[in-house]
Amino acid sequence: MKHEASIREPLIIGNKSLHDISEDIAKPIETSANKWWWSLFILSVITMLWGFGCIFYTIGTGIGVWGLNNTVGWAWDITNFVWWVGIGHAGTLISAVLLLFRQKWRLSINRSSEAMTIFAVIQAAIFPGIHMGRIWVAYFVFPLPNQFGSLWVNFNSPLLWDVFAISTYFTVSLVFWYMGLIPDFAMIRDRAVKPVFKKAKNFKEKISNFFKEQTSSYNIYSILSFGWSGRAKHWQRHEVMSLVLAGLATPLVLSVHSIVSMDFATSVIPGWHTTIFPPYFVAGAIFSGFAMVQTLLLVMRKVVNMESYITMQHIEMMNIIIMVTGSIVGIAYITELFIAWYSGVEYEQYAFLNRATGPYWWAYWAMMTCNVVSPQLMWFKKLRTSIVFTFILSIFVNIGMWFERFVIIVTSLHRDFLPSSWSMFSPTFVDIGIFIGTMGFFMVLFLLYSRTFPVIAQAELKTILKSSGDNYKKG
Protein backbone atom coordinates (compact mmCIF):
# COMPACT_ATOMS: atom_id res chain seq x y z
CA MET A 1 0.00 0.00 0.00
CA LYS A 2 1.36 3.33 -1.08
CA HIS A 3 1.63 5.99 1.52
CA GLU A 4 0.46 9.44 0.65
CA ALA A 5 1.53 12.63 2.38
CA SER A 6 -1.15 13.88 4.68
CA ILE A 7 -0.79 17.36 3.28
CA ARG A 8 -2.40 16.20 0.03
CA GLU A 9 -6.12 16.62 -0.25
CA PRO A 10 -8.07 13.37 -0.15
CA LEU A 11 -9.28 12.16 -3.54
CA ILE A 12 -12.31 10.30 -2.20
CA ILE A 13 -14.38 12.10 0.35
CA GLY A 14 -17.14 10.88 2.58
CA ASN A 15 -16.62 7.80 4.66
CA LYS A 16 -16.52 5.40 1.80
CA SER A 17 -15.78 1.76 2.15
CA LEU A 18 -14.88 -0.48 -0.77
CA HIS A 19 -18.44 -1.72 -0.89
CA ASP A 20 -19.78 1.83 -0.91
CA ILE A 21 -17.77 2.51 -4.00
CA SER A 22 -19.27 -0.50 -5.76
CA GLU A 23 -22.73 0.57 -4.68
CA ASP A 24 -22.31 4.17 -5.77
CA ILE A 25 -20.91 3.33 -9.15
CA ALA A 26 -23.33 0.56 -9.97
CA LYS A 27 -26.29 2.64 -8.90
CA PRO A 28 -26.97 4.56 -12.12
CA ILE A 29 -26.90 1.29 -14.02
CA GLU A 30 -29.10 -0.62 -11.65
CA THR A 31 -31.75 2.02 -11.12
CA SER A 32 -34.01 3.55 -13.72
CA ALA A 33 -33.49 6.98 -15.14
CA ASN A 34 -35.19 10.07 -13.81
CA LYS A 35 -37.17 12.50 -15.92
CA TRP A 36 -34.19 14.85 -16.21
CA TRP A 37 -32.25 12.19 -17.95
CA TRP A 38 -35.18 11.38 -20.17
CA SER A 39 -35.90 14.95 -21.17
CA LEU A 40 -32.23 15.59 -21.94
CA PHE A 41 -32.10 12.34 -23.87
CA ILE A 42 -35.16 13.15 -25.95
CA LEU A 43 -33.83 16.60 -26.70
CA SER A 44 -30.52 15.12 -27.77
CA VAL A 45 -32.20 12.55 -29.98
CA ILE A 46 -34.22 15.26 -31.69
CA THR A 47 -31.18 17.41 -32.41
CA MET A 48 -29.30 14.36 -33.56
CA LEU A 49 -32.05 13.44 -35.99
CA TRP A 50 -32.19 17.02 -37.22
CA GLY A 51 -28.47 16.83 -37.86
CA PHE A 52 -28.84 13.54 -39.69
CA GLY A 53 -31.57 15.12 -41.79
CA CYS A 54 -29.22 17.94 -42.74
CA ILE A 55 -26.51 15.43 -43.58
CA PHE A 56 -28.83 13.48 -45.85
CA TYR A 57 -29.95 16.71 -47.48
CA THR A 58 -26.31 17.61 -48.14
CA ILE A 59 -25.49 14.22 -49.58
CA GLY A 60 -28.64 14.19 -51.67
CA THR A 61 -28.33 17.68 -53.07
CA GLY A 62 -24.72 18.78 -53.01
CA ILE A 63 -22.25 20.65 -50.88
CA GLY A 64 -23.79 23.81 -52.29
CA VAL A 65 -26.41 23.71 -49.54
CA TRP A 66 -23.66 24.89 -47.23
CA GLY A 67 -22.44 28.46 -47.20
CA LEU A 68 -19.12 27.74 -48.89
CA ASN A 69 -17.91 29.44 -52.04
CA ASN A 70 -15.04 29.49 -54.53
CA THR A 71 -12.76 31.26 -52.09
CA VAL A 72 -13.74 29.72 -48.79
CA GLY A 73 -13.73 26.00 -49.53
CA TRP A 74 -13.78 24.92 -45.92
CA ALA A 75 -15.58 26.62 -43.07
CA TRP A 76 -17.85 25.08 -40.48
CA ASP A 77 -17.19 21.55 -41.68
CA ILE A 78 -13.49 21.56 -40.90
CA THR A 79 -13.92 23.94 -37.96
CA ASN A 80 -16.23 21.42 -36.36
CA PHE A 81 -13.94 18.57 -37.29
CA VAL A 82 -10.91 20.13 -35.64
CA TRP A 83 -12.97 21.24 -32.68
CA TRP A 84 -14.29 17.76 -32.02
CA VAL A 85 -10.90 16.16 -32.53
CA GLY A 86 -9.45 18.68 -30.10
CA ILE A 87 -12.06 17.83 -27.52
CA GLY A 88 -11.13 14.23 -27.97
CA HIS A 89 -7.70 14.92 -26.58
CA ALA A 90 -8.32 15.13 -22.89
CA GLY A 91 -9.39 11.54 -22.43
CA THR A 92 -6.29 9.90 -23.69
CA LEU A 93 -4.13 12.48 -22.03
CA ILE A 94 -5.77 11.79 -18.69
CA SER A 95 -5.78 8.04 -18.95
CA ALA A 96 -2.47 7.47 -20.69
CA VAL A 97 -0.16 10.33 -19.93
CA LEU A 98 -1.31 10.74 -16.35
CA LEU A 99 -1.03 6.99 -15.90
CA LEU A 100 2.58 7.11 -16.96
CA PHE A 101 3.14 10.04 -14.64
CA ARG A 102 1.37 8.15 -11.88
CA GLN A 103 -1.16 10.86 -11.21
CA LYS A 104 -3.71 9.17 -9.03
CA TRP A 105 -6.28 11.92 -9.35
CA ARG A 106 -6.93 10.77 -12.86
CA LEU A 107 -8.75 7.69 -11.57
CA SER A 108 -12.09 9.34 -10.92
CA ILE A 109 -12.29 11.04 -14.24
CA ASN A 110 -10.46 8.92 -16.76
CA ARG A 111 -13.36 6.66 -17.67
CA SER A 112 -15.72 9.47 -18.55
CA SER A 113 -13.16 11.60 -20.24
CA GLU A 114 -12.13 8.68 -22.37
CA ALA A 115 -15.73 8.01 -23.23
CA MET A 116 -15.95 11.64 -24.19
CA THR A 117 -12.86 11.22 -26.35
CA ILE A 118 -14.33 8.34 -28.25
CA PHE A 119 -17.67 10.01 -28.74
CA ALA A 120 -15.99 13.24 -29.80
CA VAL A 121 -13.79 11.46 -32.32
CA ILE A 122 -16.91 9.82 -33.75
CA GLN A 123 -18.40 13.30 -34.23
CA ALA A 124 -15.16 14.54 -35.69
CA ALA A 125 -15.01 11.68 -38.17
CA ILE A 126 -18.41 12.63 -39.56
CA PHE A 127 -17.14 15.90 -40.98
CA PRO A 128 -14.27 14.84 -43.23
CA GLY A 129 -16.68 12.25 -44.59
CA ILE A 130 -19.60 14.48 -45.40
CA HIS A 131 -17.52 17.44 -46.51
CA MET A 132 -16.45 15.45 -49.56
CA GLY A 133 -18.19 16.34 -52.76
CA ARG A 134 -18.53 12.68 -53.61
CA ILE A 135 -18.82 10.74 -50.39
CA TRP A 136 -19.73 7.63 -52.34
CA VAL A 137 -16.14 7.32 -53.46
CA ALA A 138 -14.72 8.07 -50.01
CA TYR A 139 -12.93 4.73 -50.08
CA PHE A 140 -10.47 6.30 -52.52
CA VAL A 141 -8.67 7.75 -49.51
CA PHE A 142 -7.64 4.32 -48.31
CA PRO A 143 -4.63 2.71 -49.94
CA LEU A 144 -6.66 -0.21 -51.20
CA PRO A 145 -5.20 -2.58 -53.74
CA ASN A 146 -7.04 -2.05 -56.99
CA GLN A 147 -7.01 -3.00 -60.60
CA PHE A 148 -6.66 0.49 -61.98
CA GLY A 149 -2.93 0.19 -62.46
CA SER A 150 -0.87 2.71 -60.60
CA LEU A 151 -3.81 4.36 -58.88
CA TRP A 152 -2.74 5.03 -55.36
CA VAL A 153 -3.26 7.58 -52.66
CA ASN A 154 -1.06 10.64 -52.40
CA PHE A 155 1.21 10.26 -49.42
CA ASN A 156 2.19 13.92 -49.68
CA SER A 157 -1.24 15.03 -48.65
CA PRO A 158 -1.88 15.92 -45.01
CA LEU A 159 -5.47 14.85 -45.48
CA LEU A 160 -4.22 11.34 -46.00
CA TRP A 161 -2.11 11.62 -42.86
CA ASP A 162 -5.31 12.62 -41.10
CA VAL A 163 -6.97 9.43 -42.23
CA PHE A 164 -4.22 7.35 -40.65
CA ALA A 165 -3.74 9.50 -37.59
CA ILE A 166 -7.37 9.64 -36.62
CA SER A 167 -8.19 6.04 -37.32
CA THR A 168 -5.17 4.94 -35.27
CA TYR A 169 -6.04 7.27 -32.46
CA PHE A 170 -9.61 6.11 -32.40
CA THR A 171 -8.64 2.45 -32.40
CA VAL A 172 -6.05 2.78 -29.64
CA SER A 173 -8.33 4.94 -27.51
CA LEU A 174 -11.15 2.49 -27.89
CA VAL A 175 -9.04 -0.51 -26.98
CA PHE A 176 -7.46 1.27 -24.04
CA TRP A 177 -10.83 2.35 -22.76
CA TYR A 178 -12.24 -1.11 -23.11
CA MET A 179 -9.29 -2.61 -21.33
CA GLY A 180 -10.08 -0.57 -18.26
CA LEU A 181 -13.75 -1.39 -18.52
CA ILE A 182 -13.36 -5.16 -18.29
CA PRO A 183 -13.00 -5.50 -14.49
CA ASP A 184 -15.78 -2.99 -14.00
CA PHE A 185 -18.13 -4.79 -16.34
CA ALA A 186 -17.33 -7.93 -14.37
CA MET A 187 -18.30 -6.13 -11.19
CA ILE A 188 -21.67 -5.16 -12.69
CA ARG A 189 -22.13 -8.70 -13.92
CA ASP A 190 -21.44 -10.10 -10.55
CA ARG A 191 -23.93 -7.79 -8.90
CA ALA A 192 -26.67 -8.68 -11.35
CA VAL A 193 -29.57 -10.81 -10.23
CA LYS A 194 -29.39 -14.13 -12.06
CA PRO A 195 -32.23 -16.50 -11.47
CA VAL A 196 -31.61 -20.03 -12.52
CA PHE A 197 -33.37 -21.15 -15.65
CA LYS A 198 -33.96 -24.65 -16.69
CA LYS A 199 -31.75 -25.72 -19.49
CA ALA A 200 -33.17 -24.23 -22.64
CA LYS A 201 -34.98 -26.75 -24.78
CA ASN A 202 -34.34 -25.07 -28.07
CA PHE A 203 -32.62 -22.09 -29.61
CA LYS A 204 -35.72 -19.93 -29.41
CA GLU A 205 -35.98 -20.44 -25.71
CA LYS A 206 -32.32 -19.75 -25.32
CA ILE A 207 -32.71 -16.40 -27.00
CA SER A 208 -35.78 -15.47 -25.03
CA ASN A 209 -34.05 -16.40 -21.78
CA PHE A 210 -31.17 -14.20 -22.72
CA PHE A 211 -33.38 -11.17 -22.99
CA LYS A 212 -35.53 -11.94 -19.96
CA GLU A 213 -35.52 -8.75 -18.03
CA GLN A 214 -34.00 -10.26 -14.96
CA THR A 215 -31.08 -11.77 -16.70
CA SER A 216 -30.35 -9.55 -19.61
CA SER A 217 -27.98 -7.32 -17.72
CA TYR A 218 -26.13 -10.29 -16.39
CA ASN A 219 -25.83 -11.78 -19.82
CA ILE A 220 -24.80 -8.64 -21.58
CA TYR A 221 -22.23 -7.67 -18.97
CA SER A 222 -20.88 -11.17 -18.84
CA ILE A 223 -20.22 -11.00 -22.55
CA LEU A 224 -18.74 -7.53 -22.23
CA SER A 225 -16.45 -8.56 -19.39
CA PHE A 226 -14.90 -11.35 -21.44
CA GLY A 227 -15.12 -13.81 -18.56
CA TRP A 228 -13.10 -11.74 -16.18
CA SER A 229 -12.78 -13.62 -12.93
CA GLY A 230 -10.46 -11.36 -11.00
CA ARG A 231 -7.72 -13.88 -10.73
CA ALA A 232 -4.27 -12.54 -9.93
CA LYS A 233 -3.10 -13.53 -13.40
CA HIS A 234 -5.91 -11.48 -14.91
CA TRP A 235 -4.93 -8.51 -12.86
CA GLN A 236 -1.32 -8.85 -13.74
CA ARG A 237 -2.05 -9.06 -17.47
CA HIS A 238 -4.46 -6.21 -17.17
CA GLU A 239 -1.85 -3.99 -15.57
CA VAL A 240 0.81 -4.81 -18.14
CA MET A 241 -1.60 -4.32 -21.01
CA SER A 242 -2.71 -0.99 -19.64
CA LEU A 243 0.86 0.16 -19.39
CA VAL A 244 1.67 -0.95 -22.91
CA LEU A 245 -1.41 0.75 -24.32
CA ALA A 246 -0.63 3.87 -22.32
CA GLY A 247 2.80 3.86 -23.88
CA LEU A 248 1.20 3.54 -27.34
CA ALA A 249 -1.42 6.16 -26.71
CA THR A 250 0.90 8.80 -25.31
CA PRO A 251 2.62 9.68 -28.60
CA LEU A 252 -0.77 9.64 -30.27
CA VAL A 253 -1.94 12.43 -28.00
CA LEU A 254 0.78 14.54 -29.54
CA SER A 255 0.62 13.19 -33.05
CA VAL A 256 -3.08 13.45 -33.84
CA HIS A 257 -3.45 17.13 -33.42
CA SER A 258 0.00 17.77 -34.83
CA ILE A 259 -1.12 16.06 -37.98
CA VAL A 260 -4.47 17.81 -38.01
CA SER A 261 -2.57 21.08 -37.72
CA MET A 262 -0.49 20.10 -40.74
CA ASP A 263 -3.60 20.31 -42.89
CA PHE A 264 -3.02 23.99 -42.47
CA ALA A 265 0.68 24.28 -41.70
CA THR A 266 1.83 22.59 -44.91
CA SER A 267 -0.30 24.80 -47.13
CA VAL A 268 0.71 28.09 -48.71
CA ILE A 269 -2.16 30.20 -47.43
CA PRO A 270 -1.05 33.08 -45.18
CA GLY A 271 -2.39 32.37 -41.72
CA TRP A 272 -2.18 28.62 -42.33
CA HIS A 273 1.41 28.38 -43.38
CA THR A 274 2.82 28.49 -39.85
CA THR A 275 5.42 26.19 -38.30
CA ILE A 276 4.21 26.82 -34.77
CA PHE A 277 0.96 24.99 -35.49
CA PRO A 278 1.71 21.46 -34.20
CA PRO A 279 2.57 22.34 -30.57
CA TYR A 280 0.04 25.13 -30.57
CA PHE A 281 -2.71 22.85 -31.78
CA VAL A 282 -1.83 20.15 -29.25
CA ALA A 283 -1.92 22.64 -26.39
CA GLY A 284 -5.20 24.00 -27.70
CA ALA A 285 -6.63 20.52 -27.99
CA ILE A 286 -5.78 19.64 -24.40
CA PHE A 287 -7.13 22.99 -23.35
CA SER A 288 -10.47 22.43 -25.03
CA GLY A 289 -10.55 18.77 -24.04
CA PHE A 290 -10.25 19.56 -20.37
CA ALA A 291 -12.85 22.27 -20.69
CA MET A 292 -15.27 19.77 -22.17
CA VAL A 293 -14.46 17.28 -19.41
CA GLN A 294 -15.30 19.98 -16.92
CA THR A 295 -18.55 20.82 -18.62
CA LEU A 296 -19.67 17.21 -18.67
CA LEU A 297 -18.40 16.08 -15.29
CA LEU A 298 -19.71 19.05 -13.36
CA VAL A 299 -23.16 18.08 -14.52
CA MET A 300 -22.64 14.36 -14.18
CA ARG A 301 -21.23 14.37 -10.65
CA LYS A 302 -24.36 16.15 -9.59
CA VAL A 303 -26.84 14.05 -11.53
CA VAL A 304 -25.44 10.63 -10.65
CA ASN A 305 -24.20 11.66 -7.20
CA MET A 306 -20.51 11.32 -7.72
CA GLU A 307 -19.50 14.28 -5.60
CA SER A 308 -17.54 12.02 -3.31
CA TYR A 309 -15.35 10.86 -6.15
CA ILE A 310 -15.08 13.89 -8.36
CA THR A 311 -14.07 16.34 -5.73
CA MET A 312 -13.06 19.96 -5.68
CA GLN A 313 -9.51 18.65 -5.78
CA HIS A 314 -10.14 17.13 -9.20
CA ILE A 315 -11.85 20.21 -10.48
CA GLU A 316 -9.03 22.42 -9.31
CA MET A 317 -6.42 20.19 -10.89
CA MET A 318 -8.18 20.36 -14.21
CA ASN A 319 -8.58 24.08 -13.90
CA ILE A 320 -4.85 24.41 -13.44
CA ILE A 321 -4.29 22.42 -16.60
CA ILE A 322 -6.76 24.64 -18.41
CA MET A 323 -4.91 27.68 -17.15
CA VAL A 324 -1.51 26.36 -18.21
CA THR A 325 -2.60 25.20 -21.65
CA GLY A 326 -4.59 28.38 -22.11
CA SER A 327 -1.44 30.34 -21.46
CA ILE A 328 0.47 28.23 -23.97
CA VAL A 329 -2.22 28.95 -26.51
CA GLY A 330 -2.04 32.65 -25.68
CA ILE A 331 1.70 32.65 -26.18
CA ALA A 332 1.19 30.89 -29.50
CA TYR A 333 -1.24 33.58 -30.65
CA ILE A 334 1.20 36.29 -29.76
CA THR A 335 4.08 34.43 -31.38
CA GLU A 336 2.05 34.17 -34.57
CA LEU A 337 1.57 37.92 -34.57
CA PHE A 338 5.22 38.51 -33.89
CA ILE A 339 6.37 36.16 -36.63
CA ALA A 340 3.96 37.72 -39.10
CA TRP A 341 5.54 41.08 -38.43
CA TYR A 342 9.08 39.72 -38.23
CA SER A 343 8.78 37.71 -41.46
CA GLY A 344 8.42 40.87 -43.51
CA VAL A 345 6.02 38.97 -45.79
CA GLU A 346 3.24 41.34 -46.66
CA TYR A 347 0.64 38.63 -47.22
CA GLU A 348 1.40 37.20 -43.81
CA GLN A 349 1.27 40.60 -42.17
CA TYR A 350 -1.97 41.45 -43.83
CA ALA A 351 -3.51 38.10 -42.89
CA PHE A 352 -2.96 38.76 -39.20
CA LEU A 353 -3.95 42.42 -39.32
CA ASN A 354 -7.06 41.36 -41.14
CA ARG A 355 -7.87 38.79 -38.48
CA ALA A 356 -7.77 41.37 -35.76
CA THR A 357 -9.24 44.33 -37.60
CA GLY A 358 -10.95 42.98 -40.73
CA PRO A 359 -14.54 41.91 -41.23
CA TYR A 360 -14.12 38.95 -38.88
CA TRP A 361 -12.66 40.98 -36.04
CA TRP A 362 -15.44 39.82 -33.74
CA ALA A 363 -14.46 36.18 -34.19
CA TYR A 364 -10.84 36.99 -33.44
CA TRP A 365 -11.61 38.95 -30.31
CA ALA A 366 -14.12 36.35 -29.16
CA MET A 367 -11.33 33.82 -29.48
CA MET A 368 -8.84 36.07 -27.67
CA THR A 369 -11.21 36.80 -24.82
CA CYS A 370 -12.33 33.24 -24.30
CA ASN A 371 -9.00 31.52 -24.77
CA VAL A 372 -6.39 33.94 -23.52
CA VAL A 373 -8.00 36.32 -21.07
CA SER A 374 -10.54 34.15 -19.31
CA PRO A 375 -8.25 31.24 -18.27
CA GLN A 376 -5.98 33.76 -16.58
CA LEU A 377 -8.70 34.23 -13.99
CA MET A 378 -7.81 30.77 -12.77
CA TRP A 379 -4.86 32.26 -10.95
CA PHE A 380 -7.32 33.11 -8.21
CA LYS A 381 -7.87 30.15 -5.98
CA LYS A 382 -11.32 31.37 -5.12
CA LEU A 383 -12.38 31.30 -8.73
CA ARG A 384 -10.79 28.01 -9.67
CA THR A 385 -12.49 26.30 -6.75
CA SER A 386 -15.87 27.73 -7.63
CA ILE A 387 -18.08 25.23 -9.38
CA VAL A 388 -20.29 27.82 -11.03
CA PHE A 389 -17.31 29.79 -12.29
CA THR A 390 -15.61 26.65 -13.55
CA PHE A 391 -18.70 25.62 -15.42
CA ILE A 392 -19.13 29.00 -17.09
CA LEU A 393 -15.45 29.18 -17.92
CA SER A 394 -15.45 25.72 -19.43
CA ILE A 395 -18.24 26.79 -21.77
CA PHE A 396 -16.27 29.92 -22.61
CA VAL A 397 -13.23 27.90 -23.47
CA ASN A 398 -15.23 25.63 -25.72
CA ILE A 399 -16.68 28.61 -27.53
CA GLY A 400 -13.26 30.20 -27.75
CA MET A 401 -11.68 27.09 -29.17
CA TRP A 402 -14.40 26.76 -31.76
CA PHE A 403 -13.73 30.33 -32.77
CA GLU A 404 -10.02 29.65 -32.91
CA ARG A 405 -10.55 27.08 -35.63
CA PHE A 406 -13.08 29.29 -37.37
CA VAL A 407 -10.63 32.18 -37.30
CA ILE A 408 -7.79 30.08 -38.63
CA ILE A 409 -9.82 28.51 -41.40
CA VAL A 410 -12.19 31.21 -42.54
CA THR A 411 -10.29 34.43 -41.98
CA SER A 412 -7.18 33.02 -43.63
CA LEU A 413 -9.08 31.78 -46.66
CA HIS A 414 -11.43 34.66 -47.17
CA ARG A 415 -8.65 37.10 -47.99
CA ASP A 416 -5.57 35.44 -49.36
CA PHE A 417 -3.28 36.51 -52.17
CA LEU A 418 -5.36 38.06 -54.93
CA PRO A 419 -7.88 40.64 -53.70
CA SER A 420 -10.03 39.90 -56.75
CA SER A 421 -11.02 36.61 -55.13
CA TRP A 422 -11.64 37.91 -51.66
CA SER A 423 -14.92 36.81 -50.26
CA MET A 424 -16.85 36.17 -47.10
CA PHE A 425 -18.54 33.19 -45.55
CA SER A 426 -21.91 32.91 -43.91
CA PRO A 427 -23.35 29.62 -42.67
CA THR A 428 -26.66 28.26 -43.90
CA PHE A 429 -29.19 26.42 -41.78
CA VAL A 430 -27.62 23.19 -42.99
CA ASP A 431 -24.18 24.16 -41.68
CA ILE A 432 -25.69 25.03 -38.34
CA GLY A 433 -28.00 22.02 -38.33
CA ILE A 434 -25.18 19.56 -38.85
CA PHE A 435 -23.10 21.11 -36.08
CA ILE A 436 -25.98 21.10 -33.62
CA GLY A 437 -26.76 17.59 -34.80
CA THR A 438 -23.32 16.32 -33.89
CA MET A 439 -23.73 17.86 -30.46
CA GLY A 440 -26.99 15.96 -30.14
CA PHE A 441 -25.37 12.76 -31.34
CA PHE A 442 -22.56 13.27 -28.86
CA MET A 443 -24.99 13.84 -26.02
CA VAL A 444 -27.05 10.79 -26.99
CA LEU A 445 -23.94 8.65 -26.79
CA PHE A 446 -22.82 10.21 -23.55
CA LEU A 447 -26.22 9.92 -21.90
CA LEU A 448 -26.53 6.28 -22.89
CA TYR A 449 -23.04 5.73 -21.59
CA SER A 450 -23.78 7.37 -18.27
CA ARG A 451 -26.60 4.90 -17.62
CA THR A 452 -25.07 1.73 -18.90
CA PHE A 453 -21.36 1.98 -18.18
CA PRO A 454 -19.58 2.27 -14.88
CA VAL A 455 -18.77 5.96 -15.15
CA ILE A 456 -15.82 5.73 -12.79
CA ALA A 457 -13.08 3.15 -13.02
CA GLN A 458 -14.08 1.62 -9.72
CA ALA A 459 -11.63 -1.22 -9.72
CA GLU A 460 -8.74 1.14 -10.03
CA LEU A 461 -10.27 3.71 -7.74
CA LYS A 462 -10.49 1.15 -5.00
CA THR A 463 -6.73 0.84 -5.07
CA ILE A 464 -6.29 4.34 -3.74
CA LEU A 465 -9.07 4.31 -1.21
CA LYS A 466 -6.77 3.38 1.59
CA SER A 467 -4.12 5.93 0.68
CA SER A 468 -6.25 8.83 -0.50
CA GLY A 469 -9.65 8.13 0.99
CA ASP A 470 -10.96 10.78 3.30
CA ASN A 471 -11.68 8.47 6.21
CA TYR A 472 -8.42 6.60 5.90
CA LYS A 473 -6.38 9.78 5.60
CA LYS A 474 -7.92 11.26 8.67
CA GLY A 475 -6.77 8.41 10.57
CB of 324 to other proteins, least distance (A): 32
Verify binding: residue 144, other proteins, rule CB under 8 A: no
Of 266 and 386, CB closest to other proteins? 266
- Cα-Cα-Cα-Cα torsion 111, 113, 116, 117, nearest 10 degrees, comes to -100
230 vs 345: CA distance, rounded Å: 63
Verify binding: residue 171, other proteins, rule CB under 8 A: no
3-class DSSP string for the chain = CCCCCCCCCCCECCCCCHHHHHHHHHHHHHCCCCHHHHHHHHHHHHHHHHHHHHHHHHHHHCHHHCCCCCCCCCCHHHHHHHHHHHHCHHHHHHHHHHHHCCCHHHHHCHHHHHHHHHHHHHHHHHHHHHCCCCHHHHHHHCCCCCCCCCCCCCCCCHHHHHHHHHHHHHHHHHHHHHHHHHHHHHHHHHHCCCCCCCCCCCHHHHHHHHCCHHHHHHHHHHHHCCCCCCCHHHHHHHHHHHHHHHHHHHHHHHHHHHHHHHHHHCCCCCCCCCCCHHHHHHHHHHHHHHHHHHHHHHHHHHHCCCCCCCCHHHHHHHHHHHHHHHHHHHHHHHHHHHHHHHHCCHHHHHHHHHHHHCCCHHHHHHHHHHHHHHHHHHHCHHHHCCHHHHHHHHHHHHHHHHHHHHHHHHHHHHCCCCHHHCCCCCCCHHHHHHHHHHHHHHHHHHHHHHHHCCCCCHHHHHHHHHHHEHHHHHC
405 — phi, psi (to 5°)?
-65, -40
Verify binding: residue 196, other proteins, rule CB under 8 A: no
Answer for which of 109, 163, 186, 445 binds other proteins (CB under 8 A) is 163
Of 94 and 130, CB closest to other proteins? 130
Q: Name the nearest CA neighbour of 443 among 86, 150, 39.
A: 39
Contacts of 327 (CB under 8 A, 6+ apart): 375, 376
Verify binding: residue 63, other proteins, rule CB under 8 A: yes
Stretch that binds other proteins, among 93-101, 251-259, 266-274, 303-311 (CB under 8 A): 266-274
CB of 59 to other proteins, least distance (A): 10
Verify binding: residue 337, other proteins, rule CB under 8 A: no
Answer for which of 19, 134, 198, 382 binds other proteins (CB under 8 A) is 134
Of 349 and 452, CB closest to other proteins? 349
What is the per-residue binding string for other proteins in 81-120, x denoting contact by CB under 8 A?
A: ----------------------------------------
Of 202 and 426, CB closest to other proteins? 426
Verify binding: residue 158, other proteins, rule CB under 8 A: yes
CB of 159 to other proteins, least distance (A): 4
468 alpha-carbon distance from chain centroid:
28
CB of 117 to other proteins, least distance (A): 24
Verify binding: residue 156, other proteins, rule CB under 8 A: yes
CA atoms within 13 A on the CB side of 277: 24
Verify binding: residue 226, other proteins, rule CB under 8 A: no
Stretch that binds other proteins, among 138-146, 179-187, 281-289, 381-389 (CB under 8 A): 138-146
Verify binding: residue 423, other proteins, rule CB under 8 A: yes
Answer for which of 45, 49, 97, 160 binds other proteins (CB under 8 A) is 160
Stretch that binds other proteins, among 10-18, 134-142, 246-254, 384-392 (CB under 8 A): 134-142
Considering Cα of 309, then 312, then 313, then 317, what sign does the dihedral take?
positive
Answer for which of 12, 74, 89, 217 binds other proteins (CB under 8 A) is 74
Verify binding: residue 420, other proteins, rule CB under 8 A: yes
Answer for which of 153, 174, 276, 328 binds other proteins (CB under 8 A) is 153
Verify binding: residue 151, other proteins, rule CB under 8 A: yes
Of 218 and 352, CB closest to other proteins? 352
Answer for which of 346, 381, 429, 448 binds other proteins (CB under 8 A) is 346
Answer for which of 48, 68, 165, 322 binds other proteins (CB under 8 A) is 68
CB of 150 to other proteins, least distance (A): 10
Answer for which of 70, 147, 202, 229 binds other proteins (CB under 8 A) is 70
Number of residues counted as binding other proteins (CB under 8 A): 58
Verify binding: residue 141, other proteins, rule CB under 8 A: yes
CB of 369 to other proteins, least distance (A): 20
Contact in structure between 435 and 123 (CB atoms under 8 Å): no
CB of 65 to other proteins, least distance (A): 8
Verify binding: residue 147, other proteins, rule CB under 8 A: no
CB of 259 to other proteins, least distance (A): 13
Q: Name the nearest CA neighbour of 55 among 123, 140, 117.
A: 123
Contact residues for other proteins (CB under 8 A)?
A: 61-64, 67-71, 73-74, 128, 131-135, 137-138, 140-141, 151-154, 156-160, 163, 263, 266-269, 345-347, 349-350, 353-354, 357, 413-426
